Amino acid sequence: MASKLWEKKTRVDSDIERYTIGRDAEMDMFLAPYDVLGSMAHATMLESIGLLSKQDLDQILAGLKAIYANIEAGNFEIEDGVEDIHSQVEMLLGEVGKKLHSGRSRNDQVLVDLRLYTRAKLQEVVQEVKGLFDALIAQSERYKHVLLPGYTHLQIAMPSSFGLWFGAYAESLLDDMQLLLSAYKIVNRNPLGSAAGYGNSFPLNRQLTTDLLGFDSMDYNVVYAQMGRGKTERIVASALASVAGTISKLAFDSCMYTSQNFGFLKLADQFTTGSSIMPHKKNPDVFELTRAKCNKLQGVPQQITMIINNLPSGYFRDLQIIKEVYLPMFDEMIDILVMTRSMIEQIQVNENILNDSKYDLIFSVEEVNKRTLAGTPFRDAYKQVGLEIEAGNFTPDKNIAHTHQGSIGNLCNEQIQGLMQEVLSGFSFQKVEQAQQNLLK
């Protein structure tokens, strides 16, 4: 069994070792490429302040690039008995690897790994949110003239449209994207150099590692850099939970609208499953599972909160457990976004819903408004139409004209798209990609 980087003479009891390490090696595989990138920046900085020779730096960078290539090729693993990704990388570098840890702690290593991982995963999430947004806008435009009943209290209320319905979820994603941008800006600050949370007596150049890793700035106060562990994950998880909340509501609507009692939508057959005893069934299982997965993701911020809730400043091993609920949520979120976009792109719309007379009463407000425009006080017009409904004498006029901003006849999709582009311009993806390319070339 390999010794630990921190181990002296006393060997750790195997049961205690198993309990304290837990799933850390498994979780660290998510962080592997980012641990290498952080080490490349740190090594470059150490050479710039005289703690590594040029020869040492060249050897370390060559070794780290080889490790990175193995990770990308799927040929990397954390060996049995090796405590974590940081230990594995250092041991693979051999003797020169012993010099790499000057000026840093595993605390700020995992902090920077988490920031780099989160930053990269947020970019993937943002791209998929934009893809779903575009699909919703396209369907909103395609079906903008197709009416459907709007509901309050699950009772028929007023005319709506598929243009409004699809577009509403697009605009909801716009707000979610704003939260993702805020989370990204908090993530995109460099904690490296905070060491165990109290800085270091070496003359570290933290601005250099900030630039090398493409961060916008750094977490300046070293105590706060360590305090950011857990807080940052909770903020990001909350932004992802907001996306999940939008999609969960969309999934609920879709399940309801595809039922025979509504019949507003029809899912493509490949997104439905059958029954073992009912040959007619086409169940919206994909949307149902999407709803459940989204609801599960909405619980992650609360899980993180409960882990970090009463911790004072400084590092505590409690923080390790956050990785188990936090790291996997990105791929699940991305999977949900990809699947939802595919379903929305292929969903079929019933274009004749309001031909059914049971929806006639949703045009009552239109009639009240028409009489009000003709000069009848609103309250009198309201009472007239109400009495006609009670007497069974109400005849709807289904020719409606909503023209104000954001209504059936004026969806403002172009404005919503413009706001989305404005938010997207706030992400510094190109800067980050260039910094990573410079490290690896």
Q: What is the CATH number of the domain that holds 62?
A: 1.10.275.10
**In a shared domain, residues 163 and 251:** yes
**In a shared domain, residues 349 and 362:** no
**In a shared domain, residues 298 and 337:** yes
Q: For residue 217, indicate whether it is catalytic.
A: no
Give me the domain span that covers residue 28.
14-99
Q: Does residue 441 belong to any structural domain of this protein?
A: no
Q: Return the exposure string of 16-30: e unless at least 16 CB atoms fall within 10 Å of the residue's CB, then b.
A: eeeeebeebbebbeb
Q: Using a pLDDT cut of 90, give the percent of the chain over it.
A: 83
**In a shared domain, residues 177 and 47:** no
What is the number of other CB atoms lying within 10 angstroms of the CB of residue 440? 15
What is the number of other CB atoms lying within 10 angstroms of the CB of residue 392? 6
**In a shared domain, residues 166 and 21:** no
Cα separation, 247 vs 340, whole angstroms: 8
Tokens found for residue 242: 């907001």
Beta bridge partner(s), residue 218: 190
Evaluate if residue 17 carries a pLDDT over 80.
no
Instruction: Compute φ and ψ for 440, nearest 5 degrees.
Output: -90, -15
**In a shared domain, residues 212 and 92:** no
Cα separation, 123 vs 290, whole angstroms: 21
Q: For residue 153, indicate whether it is catalytic.
A: yes
Average pLDDT over residues 186-195: 96
Contacts of 395 (CB under 8 A, 6+ apart): none
**In a shared domain, residues 51 and 187:** no
Q: How confident is the model at residue 22 (pLDDT cuts 50, 70, 90)?
A: low
Q: Does residue 399 belong to any structural domain of this protein?
A: no
Tokens found for residue 8: 């002296």
**In a shared domain, residues 50 and 182:** no
Question: 72-129: per-residue pLDDT in tens?
Answer: 999 999 888 787 888 899 999 999 999 999 999 989 999 999 999 999 999 999 999 9
Q: How far is CA 214 from CA 119, 144, 150, 167, 300, in A?
A: 11, 43, 48, 35, 28
* Catalytic, out of 153, 201, 404, 425: 153
Instruction: Compute φ and ψ for 348, nearest 5 degrees.
Output: -105, 140
**In a shared domain, residues 284 and 331:** yes
Q: Count CA atoms within 13 Å of residue 107 on its CB side.
A: 25
Q: Does residue 1 belong to any structural domain of this protein?
A: no
Which sign, positive or negative, has the C-alpha torsion 69, 75, 77, 80?
negative
**In a shared domain, residues 168 and 214:** yes
Question: 275-290: per-residue pLDDT in tens?
Answer: 677 777 788 889 999 9
* Catalytic, out of 53, 259, 275, 313: 275
- CATH code: domain of residue 424: 1.20.200.10
User: Going by DSSP bridges, is the β-strand pair 265-266/348-349 parallel, antiparallel, or unpaired?
Assistant: antiparallel
Question: 341-396: per-residue pLDDT in tens?
Answer: 999 999 999 999 999 999 999 999 999 999 999 999 999 999 999 999 999 999 99
Question: 254-271: per-residue pLDDT in tens?
Answer: 999 999 999 999 988 888
**In a shared domain, residues 350 and 364:** no
Q: Does residue 331 belong to any structural domain of this protein?
A: yes
Rg (CA), the chain: 28
Tokens found for residue 28: 């660290």
Evaluate if residue 4 carries a pLDDT over 60.
no
- Final residue in a domain of this structure, among 39, 74, 99: 99
**In a shared domain, residues 118 and 133:** yes
Cα separation, 212 vs 200, whole angstroms: 20
Contacts of 248 (CB under 8 A, 6+ apart): 290, 291, 294, 295, 298
Number of domains in the chain: 3
